[in-house]
Chain A
């Protein structure tokens, strides 16, 4: 297979032609030759050296070959006849090993020496192999040429398991092919988002979900520790987090490196790629380079479109009419049948750039275009890529799109509709029976009728005819109809969660449960978020709603949490943190006090203070020192006090019947029990509890979220108090006789609040909004309601009550506390 093969042309060359030698019989090398021949067929006597033992083929079509959609013959670009007809000498299967610039010759592995007048280097790229233990085992392959495909096909014939390392374009195409060939495929990707260089979080989520539906296992955030083997053949892959996957074949598709070895050894200027000018000439005027191996104006490319432009400029220059290459804007499509995905340009949300997002949850469509200064600068399309090339064209030409701005996201057909460019006009033109809301089957006629019948806000339309009440993708249409029907009379609806959505907090909470939504990007997709990844107000809210809806199953999204909850401490005005360990019910002991005193001294805390919540607050701790402080506090049995959280804060108690001459019940003991039951729970806002031993109320129970006032005959339970910005005394919820009842009702009330209140709504405003009667009805109308709510609360507490400090002490999320490195300007060195 690897023996040198030669197609020698019959020697009709005239002696005058310059000798052009091409290294690399790949896409760029051959294209460059084609371009030269098209301009001046007699100019050069051409010899092409190719490391691969075959003619030139379309490398990008290796994916369809792997998937069984094409054969090798289908993807050949130039057959042996083409080389012969154009009098090109092809030396294949014999790589060039040396370029001798002095003698202007190249030498091949087999020892052949070929002189050149002009040399063209088109060696492409080499796949990168991560040097983990086991990377040299048989069965570890890359995905670059036909031989790789043959190896994968041989493995697939035997069936079994494949692990693909790398969830970029190549990796996913390999995974797709192997999966179609009947293998059980796992993709391990280092980053949290697939194809992160081309896709944003929203599109990456949709792609992952689609691949999982096809039976692939997708592991994001997976870092390979080792490739396991037996008898020199791969058997599996182990990740750094301990997960293991069996493998009969491992495909490494983690990236490519420009193949610059020859050029470097020959002394040409090389950085990441071989440096070329705008005419594809290297630092040696006799040597040109083209394709993936070059670096032009600082950029190396990994796609074919730029190669075509490079080859044009190269041929123009080589045939004496230089034109120049100025760099390329690239776009990406994934060649996985049934998955439509397109991305181009800059989607990093540049300044002054505006995102226009359209989502259609029912069709699984996400479209985002980025506009800046009336120009399109980027696009990400998932599910419907019909307009990809149109957007790409607008982008490359830098056309002014202000005229079609409103219609841009709807695509070319819509934008070209002239008058239709005004969405209101487009909606006006719809017939009465045109369907507006696909989810609920509501026609335009029905919506207009509802509006005429008095529904003068989006919310009223939603509740009266259900249009736009499910996924919200027709919200724009309903808003247009409101505008067309009522003009300026349209009433503003209730406040939406934030500017990213047209839904209110209550809608979102309801829809998360109804539609079984499990992840933040999924909520954003299914509920038609208007921004790609939300904002600082909706991300924390969604994170809480999901956490509350799916206890135990939902994985907390740390990036959606305010710093205090991410670092489990309160940030101070100088960027340091304060640390408040829990003191159950306000009780403490010498061991705890000693540990706190030691921490204060050891870490030079500038202040320690008794808080209004009956515990001690240590100030001025640096984020790097937090885990060490916590370790010392943990060692004395103390856990996080959540003084930073939208969660249970303190349970304040008074001395009660144990000591106080007026005490009626053991208020201290009950307070400790309540705190043990409720600590760790995430809530819509902070939550405070107090237990007073008698109506003198020394623990201020009547300004707490949940307050207990002990009396001779039992316990008065109070709710909805607030001692903060707007003081509100509690409402009396009920009176019970035993501690057990008091505890159950406390758990049930908290769960009701957790499930119904809006994020950042404390119990006081919540009760003002829904009414005490609503709360009482929800708890007491059905005799089982308290037990059911309390059971749900206790179930979710199973997953909440592990001390977040202890986890950090054990090394969890250590990078949140550590600096990347430190810069020391004196010796300009980096140090850890």
Chain B
């Protein structure tokens, strides 16, 4: 099991309400979010609208508001909320013993959820 997960470090490196980025060589950059509810999510860092960097948006509830044109993107499913249509791939993530793990194959773009 462990081998399928990529350890990306302790939860404390992302403060609540923030996101940090994880460039993937030859793949899509990933944004890892920490919500004010202390949940963690990972998405491809690309808004389904015009590829805005979601990591830079304001996080509220389990939604991030894209910094470019204010689309609201669900951190859980990657779906645009409300009347906007579009979806960005999510990366399965788990927190274990204070560390964040991403599903390796999803990170490498082989299998996005």
Taking chain A's interface residues, is the majority helix, strand, or loop, or is none over half, making it mixed?
A: loop
Asked if A351 and B74 make an inter-chain contact with CB atoms under 8 angstroms apart, the answer reads yes
Q: A815, B13: Cβ atoms under 8 Å?
A: yes
Chain A proximity of B23: nearest CB distance (Å):
5
Q: Are B18 and A819 within 8 A (Cβ)?
A: no
Chain A positions 331-351 with a Cβ under 8 Å from a chain B Cβ: 347-351
Say whether A571 faces chain B, with CB atoms less than 8 Å apart.
yes
CB <8 Å contact, A825 and B17: no
Cα A348 to Cα B77 with chains together (Å):
13
- The answer, yes or no, to whether A766 is at the interface (CB within 8 Å) is no
A821 CA / B18 CA spacing, docked (Å):
16
User: Does A575 lie within 8 Å of B53, measured CB to CB?
Assistant: yes
Nearest residue, chain A, Cβ from B63: A349
B contact residues around A822 at 8 Å (CB): 22-25
| A540 CB–B CB distance under 8 Å | yes
Is A779 at the interface (CB under 8 A from chain B)? no
Instruction: Give 1 or 0 for each of B81-113: 1 = CB within 8 Å of chain A CB.
Output: 000000000000000111000001001100000
Complex contacts, B6 vs chain A, CB 8 Å: 823, 830
Interface residues on A, range: 35 or more
Contact-size category for B: 35 or more
For residues 808 through 832 of chain A, which have their beta carbon under 8 Å from a beta carbon of chain B?
Answer: 815-816, 818-826, 828, 830
Q: Collect the chain B residues with CB atoms within 8 Å of residue A818's CB.
A: 20
Query: Measured between C-beta atoms, what is the minimum distance from A163 to chain B in Å?
Result: 19
Contacts of A196 on B, CB cut-off 8 Å? 16, 38
Answer yes or no: A563 CB below 8 A from chain B CBs.
Answer: yes
The answer on a CB contact under 8 Å between A536 and B60 is yes
B-side contacts of A617, CB under 8 Å: none
Task: Evaluate contact between B12 and A532: CB separation under 8 angstroms.
Answer: no
> A815 with B20: in contact, given A533-B36, A571-B68 (CB under 8 Å)?
yes
Give the Cβ gap from A703 to chain B, nearest Cβ, in Å: 27
Contact present for A191 and B38 (CB under 8 Å): yes
B1-22, CB < 8 A from A: 1-2, 6-9, 12-18, 20-22
**A191, A574, A820 interface centre (most CB from chain B within 10 Å):** A820
C-alpha spacing A397/B62, complex, angstroms: 25
Residue B44, interface by CB 8 Å:
no
Q: How far is the CA of A308 from the CA of B18 in the complex (A)?
A: 38
Residues of B within 8 A of A200 (CB): 36-38
Instruction: Name the residue in A350, A351, A534 with the highest tally of chain B Cβ atoms < 10 Å from its Cβ.
Output: A351
Contacts of B7 in A (CB 8 A): 830
Chain B residues with CB under 8 A of A531: 60-61
Q: What separation, in Å, do the CA atoms of A381 and B7 have in the docked complex?
A: 34
Contact mask for chain B residues 42-53; partner A; CB cutoff 8 A; 1 contact, 0 none: 000000001111
**CB–CB B18/A823 < 8 A:** no
Chain A residues positioned under 8 Å from B36 (CB to CB): 193, 200-201, 532-533, 559
- Contacting residue for B60 out of A535, A563, A566, A824, CB 8 A: A535
- Asked if B22 contacts A823 (CB within 8 A), the reply is yes
Asked whether A42 is an interface residue with its Cβ less than 8 Å from the other chain, the reply is: no
> Which chain A residues numbered 170 to 197 have a C-beta less than 8 Å away from chain B?
190-193, 196-197
Contact with B along A524-552 (1 / 0, CB 8 A): 00000001111110011000000000000
Count the A-B residue pairs with Cβ separation under 8 angstroms: how many? Answer: 147
- A399 at the binding interface (Cβ < 8 Å): no
CB distance from B70 to the nearest CB of A (A): 7
Given A191-B12, A571-B56, A559 contacting B76 (CB threshold 8 A): no
- With the chains together, A562 CA to B60 CA distance in Å? 12
Distance A630 CA – B52 CA, assembled complex (angstroms):
24
With A193-B16, A347-B37, A350-B76 known as contacts, the answer to whether A819 contacts B58 (CB < 8 A) is no
The answer to whether A821 and B52 touch across the interface, beta carbons within 8 angstroms, is: no
Would you call A819 and B21 a contact (CB within 8 A)?
A: yes
Cβ distance A633 to chain B, nearest Cβ, rounded Å: 22
Complex: chain B residue closest to A348, CB-CB: B39
The complex places the Cα of A539 from the Cα of B79 at a distance, in Å, of: 23
- Docked Cα-Cα span, A563 to B55, in Å, equals 9
Q: Are A825 and B26 in contact (CB under 8 A)?
A: yes
Report the minimal beta-carbon distance from B14 to chain A, rounded to whole angstroms: 8
Q: Could you tell me if B67 and A201 are in contact, using CB atoms closer than 8 angstroms?
A: no
Measured CA separation A508–B7 after assembly (Å): 44
- Residues in B with CB closer than 8 Å to A213 are none
Q: Is A459 an interface residue (CB 8 A)?
A: no
B71 CB to nearest A CB, Å: 11
Contact (Cβ within 8 A) B107 A823: yes
CA distance A825 to B24 in the complex (A): 7
Q: Is A52 part of the binding interface, using a Cβ–Cβ cutoff of 8 Å?
A: no
Which residue from chain A places its CB closest to the CB of B10 in the assembled complex? A190
Closest chain A CB from B49 CB (angstroms): 11
Q: Is A560 an interface residue (CB 8 A)?
A: yes
Tell me, yes or no, whether A726 is within 8 Å of chain B by CB. no
Q: A221 CA to B14 CA in the complex, in Å?
A: 12
What is the distance, in angstroms, from B22's C-beta to the closest C-beta of chain A?
5
The 18 sampled A-B contact pairs (Cβ below 8 Å) are A196-B16, A223-B12, A349-B35, A349-B61, A349-B62, A355-B61, A536-B57, A536-B65, A536-B72, A558-B17, A559-B58, A562-B58, A563-B67, A567-B56, A571-B68, A623-B56, A822-B23, A823-B27
